[in-house]
Amino acid sequence: MPKYHVEEMDGDSVTAAHIVNATTPLKAAREATEREVTLRTSEPVWIRVTDEKRGHVFEYSFSL
Q: Which pLDDT does position 16 carry in this prediction?
A: 98
Strand partners, 6: 18, 49
Q: What pLDDT was estimated at residue 52? A: 82
Residues 6-58: pLDDT tens digits? 999 999 999 999 999 999 999 999 999 999 999 999 999 999 999 989 989 99
Model confidence at 59: pLDDT above 80 = yes
Q: State the pTM of this model.
A: 0.93
The whole-angstrom separation of Cα 11 and Cα 19 is: 20
